[in-house]
């Protein structure tokens, strides 16, 4: 699998890079918990973070003029353990300068089909929008938050717990309903690519130029498993800083650990991130699908409980 991936990017002139796993900066994303550690360099002491993804460092390389790059690395996420999660996992992340989201999606499909060629289980790729797929499986409009409609749906579809958990948060409601009633259906025939996420779930993607209600973000699924996330990358430093501030405020309100904005990353955006699209794919889950394993522990030499 790793050899095929390296061959794929080598053939396309994409440069393999390596960035630090241990770094001064970390993302503000409230849903991503991180590992931190103390760095002693007598007489100084500072806090360093194990990276939840190599995104910031890779974007700093892009801003410095690297051109298209890819990386196969470890990433660390605190508290994530389950059938599809291990706190330390492998990630393929790549950025293509000059690509918009659809050019990126074409490349994703090609890569996935190259990887699954020998296995022959993937049939037709389905490209759809978040709105279309959400409406198809639930009848709800994901772009227009109506607490009453969402709560009615939840009560009638065995998801009554959502009403208390999600309360007035549109994003939480979408996470809840999507992961329970939409995602399990996706990619049962072949690769499923969902784009046009609601703007409240834009993460580090641009808001769509024609429709500000959606973001240029794509997620891919096979057999109901979320494999990866891609963005037409936000290059606007001011907007990026505003999102950081919003997430830091959210962290404060919800008693989550405080995070400082990654200045070096923001400076890189100010100096100019080229127009680009980027994608990250969880390699352990990919290996699960390639081998037919039904738990991530089966594809890890030593899962966290035995590491």
Partner 1 sequence: MASYSTNEFKGGLKVMLDNDPCAIIENEFVKPGKGQAFSRVKIRNLKTGRVIERTFKSGESLESADVVDIEMQYLYNDGQFRHFMVPDTFEQYQADEKAVGDAGLWLKDQDMCTVTLWNDAPLAVVPANFVELAITETDPGVRGDTSGGGGKPAKLESGAVVRVPLFVQSGEMIKVDTRTGEYVSRVKE
Q: Would you tell me which residues interact with partner 1 (CB under 8 A)? A: 29, 31-32, 79-85, 158-159, 161-162, 165, 171-172, 174-176, 178-180, 183, 201, 203, 219, 226, 228-229, 282
Please identify, using beta-carbon distances, which residue of 72 and 75 lies nearer to partner 1: 75
Cβ atoms 228, 280 nearer than 8 A:
yes
Residue 137 has what DSSP assignment? H
Please identify, using beta-carbon distances, which residue of 115 and 227 lies nearer to partner 1: 227
Distant-in-sequence, close-in-space partners of 275: CB < 8 Å, separation ≥ 6? 97, 98, 235
Exposure string (b/e) for 87-100, b if CB count within 10 Å is 16 or more? bbbbbbbbbbbebe
How near is the Cβ of 264 to partner 1 at its closest, in Å? 22
Strand pairing class (276-282; 88-97): antiparallel
Please identify, using beta-carbon distances, which residue of 201 and 277 lies nearer to partner 1: 201
Please identify, using beta-carbon distances, which residue of 25 and 230 lies nearer to partner 1: 230
How near is the Cβ of 102 to partner 1 at its closest, in Å? 21
Please identify, using beta-carbon distances, which residue of 70 and 178 lies nearer to partner 1: 178
> Across the strands, what pairs with 205?
233
Nearest CA to 279 out of 1, 4, 29, 5 is that of 5
Please identify, using beta-carbon distances, which residue of 254 and 258 lies nearer to partner 1: 254
Please identify, using beta-carbon distances, which residue of 97 and 177 lies nearer to partner 1: 177
Residue 62: Cβ within 10 Å count: 25
Nearest CA to 116 out of 271, 286, 242, 296 is that of 286
Give the rounded distance of the alpha carbon of 235 from its chain centre: 17
> What is the rounded end-to-end Cα distance, in angstroms, of the chain?
23
Rg of the Cα trace of the chain? 19
How near is the Cβ of 220 to partner 1 at its closest, in Å? 11
How near is the Cβ of 282 to partner 1 at its closest, in Å? 8
From residue 225, give the alpha-carbon distance in Å to each of 16, 93, 117, 250, 304. 27, 18, 19, 28, 21
């Amino acid at each position: 699998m790793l050899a095929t991936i390296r061959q794929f990017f080598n053939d396309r002139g994409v440069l393999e890079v390596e960035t630090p796993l241990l770094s001064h900066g970390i993302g503000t994303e409230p849903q991503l918990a991180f590992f931190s550690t103390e760095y002693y360099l007598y007489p100084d002491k500072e806090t360093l973070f194990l990276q939840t993804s190599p995104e910031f460092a890779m974007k700093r390389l892009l801003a410095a003029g690297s051109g298209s790059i890819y990386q196969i690395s470890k990433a660390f996420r605190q508290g994530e353990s389950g059938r599809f999660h291990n706190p330390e996992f492998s990630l393929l992340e790549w950025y293509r300068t000059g690509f918009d989201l659809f050019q990126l999606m074409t490349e994703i499909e090609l890569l996935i089909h190259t990887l699954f060629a020998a296995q022959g289980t993937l049939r037709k790729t389905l490209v759809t929008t978040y709105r279309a797929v959400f409406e198809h499986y639930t009848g709800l409009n994901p772009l227009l938050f109506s607490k009453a409609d969402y709560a009615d749906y939840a009560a009638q579809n065995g998801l009554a717990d959502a009403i208390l958990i999600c309360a007035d948060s549109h994003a939480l409601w979408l996470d809840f309903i999507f992961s329970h009633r939409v995602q399990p259906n996706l990619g049962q025939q072949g690769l499923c690519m969902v784009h046009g996420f609601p703007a409240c779930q834009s993460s580090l993607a641009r808001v769509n130029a024609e429709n500000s209600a959606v973001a240029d973000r794509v997620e891919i699924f096979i057999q109901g498993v979320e494999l990866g996330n891609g963005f037409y990358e936000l290059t606007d430093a001011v907007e990026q800083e505003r999102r950081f501030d919003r997430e830091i405020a959210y962290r404060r309100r919800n008693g989550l650990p405080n995070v400082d904005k990654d200045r070096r990353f923001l400076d890189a955006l100010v100096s100019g991130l080229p127009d680009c699209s980027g994608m990250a794919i969880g390699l352990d889950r990919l290996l699960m699908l390639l081998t037919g394993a039904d738990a991530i522990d089966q594809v890890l030499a030593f899962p966290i409980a035995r590491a």
